Structure 1
Amino acid sequence: MNMLAKWQQALIALLLWTSLAGCGSKTSPDPLSPEAALGKLIYFDASLSASGGQSCASCHQPAFGHAQPNDLPAQPGGSHLQEKGQRTSPSLRYLAYNTPFEVDAEGKAKGGFFWDGRAQTLAEQAKQPFLGKVEMANPDVPSVIAKLAVTPYSAQFKKVFGSDILSRPEAAFEQMAMALQKFQLEDRSFRPFSSRFDQYLAGTIKLTPAEMRGLDLFKNAEKGNCAACHTAEKDQAGLPPLFTDFSYDNLGIPRNLALKHNQDPSYFDLGLCAKTPEDKRSQSAWCGAFKVPSLRNAAVRQAFFHNGQFKSLREVLVFYVQRDTHPEKWYPQSADGRIDKFNDLPLVYKNNVNVEEVPYERKKGQTPALDEAEIEDVLAFLRTLTDADLKPTQ
């Protein structure tokens, strides 16, 4: 981790921890700093895109947990909103607690932003869509700043960042990104901790019997084993569980032919190993691994995993426990009659798929780790992770 990333992360930690007390309990939002207030204006401003029709909020809508509002595997973008990306739009909620990409002493990858960890900070993550060909599609930084210069808030931008800031496009772009980062850090809608599960942790409500059974199954290392990656306990400082450890896993998700890129049989989205910094691309064991998302507000989502292959939370749970016991449900049959398991990976990387941890350690024909009734109980628990301003759709 470079010194700039360390400094930014220390600042983020300070901002978050100084405001954590009482999180989710206030009836009115805290006032935003001038920088964060500009970040909010930028976040919702579609005029900053080449199409004039896409903002940050288009793919990360507050009403959907700051995630995509539909079941598409990738959101439309480009200069005429006719281009298709290759991945779903993950939620931005609770992402402020993420850390820059790093590899621990055991060689485990953790942190980083986007599905593949290619950005080190929220600010770095915020910059990339403005220039993405299948996203906001601006050709270069000066074109972004030219659009910013004619917004109703351009004078406010100059007041905060300097009267000459718009004449220095690269510097202005950096300040745009930092403003977006500050907005996400300061606005508590990105981390409300207001779900029924948070109320349960605070001792103000009780969960139903089905929800409690689901919680037990979720944490049981011999059953759901979900908490192995989707942490379900408070941390040492008392932060409520984020339901992710920000690590990466290769689950062998089936290929989604609805994605334009996947129409080419030679194309494979290799995730972490293809998008991490150059000195880490030699880690072939990471090929096919993607970021473990938070399960907070998972019951609001309509498309799951990096490629949007699954459309319901129930289908996701069934896949988890039946991927190996009933592979014919998820993968196509090859010409020789065999099931083409893990068909969204080249043959050389299929051994990277997690087949050791519960519930993936089972073989074809064996009993799945969870039965139908247990799946319903886990679903009941997952719905308790929905923030109070949202409504479960699953």
Structure 2
Amino acid sequence: MHFSFKSSHAVLPRLLVLAVAAMLQACGGGSGGEALPSVGSASTGGASAQASLGAKIFNDMSLSASGRQSCASCHAAETGHAGANSLAAQMGGAMLDLQGGRSSPSMRYLSSNKPFQIAADGTPSGGFFWDGRANSLQDQAAKPFLNPREMANLDAADLARRLAKASYADELRRMFGEDIFSRPDEALARVALLLQTFQMESAEFRPFSSKFDQVLRGQATLNEQELRGLALFNAKDKGNCAACHPSAKGRDGAFPMFTDFTYDNLGVPRNSALSQNNDPTFYDLGLCARDGGDLTAKPELCGKFKVPSLRNVALRKVFFHNGGFTSLKEVLNFYVTRDTNPERWYSRGADGTLNKFDDLPAAYKANVNISEGPYNRKPGEQPALSDAEIDDVLAFLGTLSDGYKK
């Protein structure tokens, strides 16, 4: 069932659009543009030996049990280092026949992320993966090698045996000692550190080369539709996207990451394309059920997942932790009609009763965000964005894709 809503750009005051345009002009850094802060600037010098070796590891399929999967297999450059296809979760395992449990998030711009923490007010932030269970890029990089549904090495010794046969094995020996492969735990840690170094140094993981970056440098301008989209993106009574995806430069002049690095529970619909969901009693509870069980005593975190950066979002093939959406326009439609037209998104029980927030057990449905716009509306009310306004926001989101050329 598809709903269509009447378009009216008059709903968004033209003064607001003009104010956004003026703000962006003020952000310009002169004819040469404003220099980016060190944590968010592309490397201009040659890559270090460690980063170059990390790049080889990142692209090496021989390090997986299947021999057909590398880091790059699930984090493709053409999608902003997110999943390369529209599968809800990528296939892995020794036979490449096991489906993962979550979509592959983008690996771009993670150098500005921080370790996981919970603030005094209870707000979780930082961390890597959808549930923040890794506290550094190194920690994150190590885990897929031993995940039975990913690269599926049996243990660190299994990985060390593969490393010893790699074309760059002698480089590893020279860098870490002739006996590095007889110290498998250290070999795994060193490999993960090399991957972290590659991501920290390589311009491809933080190029800041989108049209919006050029606008912030004063070297490009948004067209009228993109300006309307940005205004709608920021407006609290419209998209309110900036509440979790800030679009303004930081106080230190840092370019925006389009994430506040926090976690949210959006009541995303259950995705039947995930094999784990064949079990009707299974629920992916995110933060409160992550590996290690360190947050099981905090039920208020159940169903919360990391707020991703929207940089390169228009390049992605799937969206949300469960890969339940394959169209960015569909995502925006979900945001604004989740509560006004819930029947559009959720399943019904045997008695025909609508099961809103159907990917959560009843005990945790109260954790879903229903207080912030556009989620604070009631069935039958007008959605916060019309079809035409959604198209405007999509046009703006397209300016966040790296590789812009005039």
Q: TM-score, normalised by structure 2?
A: 0.89
329, 338, 341: which one pairs with 1:314?
329
Q: Report the count of equivalent residues.
A: 370
Give the structure 1 partner of residue 374 of structure 2.
359
Report the CA distance between 1:17 and its aligned residue.
Answer: 5.1
Residue equivalent to 1:384:
399
Counterpart of 1:100 in structure 2 is 115
1:185 corresponds to: 200
SS at match of 2:277: helix
Residues 262-341 of structure 1: matches in 2 within 5 Å? 262-275=277-290, 277-341=292-356
Offset at residue 58 of structure 1 (A) = 0.2
SS of the aligned residue for 2:310 comes to coil
Judge conservation of contact 2:336–2:385 (CA < 8 Å) in 1.
yes
Kept in 2, the 8 Å contact 1:117–1:276? The answer is: no
The question of whether the paired residues in 1 share the 8 Å contact of 2:37 and 2:254 is answered with no
Q: Does 1:36 align with 2:51?
A: yes
Match of 2:124 among 106, 109, 128: 109
| Residue 19 of structure 1: how far off its partner (Å) | 6.5
Q: 1:125 aligns with which of 137, 140, 161?
A: 140
2:171 maps to 1:156: yes
Per-residue Cα deviation, 1:113-169 (whole angstroms, up to 9, x for no partner): 000111111001001100111100111000001100111111101111222222211
User: Hey, what does 1:3 align to over in structure 2?
Assistant: none
SS in 1 for 2:385: coil
Could you list the runs of 5+ residues in structure 2 that have no partner in the other structure?
A: 1-35
Which digits, 9 at most, give the CA deviation of each residue in 1:297-354, with x for residues without a partner?
1101111001111110000000000000000110012223321100000010011000
| Paired residue type of 1:343 | D
Cα distance in 1 between the residues matched to 2:304 and 2:168: 41
Report the alpha carbon displacement of residue 276 of structure 1 after superposing the two structures with TM: 5.9
Alpha-carbon separation, structure 1, partners of 2:260 and 2:161: 39
Q: 1:277, CA displacement in angstroms?
A: 4.6
**How many Å apart are 1:30 and its aligned residue?**
2.8
Residues 1:370 and 2:381 aligned together: no
- How do 1:216-231 and structure 2 match up within 5 A? 216-231=231-246
3-state SS in 2 of match to 1:215:
helix
Match of 1:60 in 2: 75
Which residue of the partner structure matches residue 348 of structure 1?
A: 363
Specify the code of the residue in structure 2 equivalent to 1:204.
Q
Coordinate RMSD, CA, aligned: 1.5
Note the alpha carbon deviations across 1:82-116, whole angstroms, 9 max, x for none: 11111100010001111100011211000010001
Q: Where does structure 1 lack aligned partners over 5 or more consecutive residues?
A: 1-15
Conservation of the 8 A alpha-carbon contact between 1:314 and 1:375: yes
**Structure 1 Cα separation of the partners of residues 81 and 37 of structure 2:** 21
Deviation at 1:367, TM superposition (A): 0.7
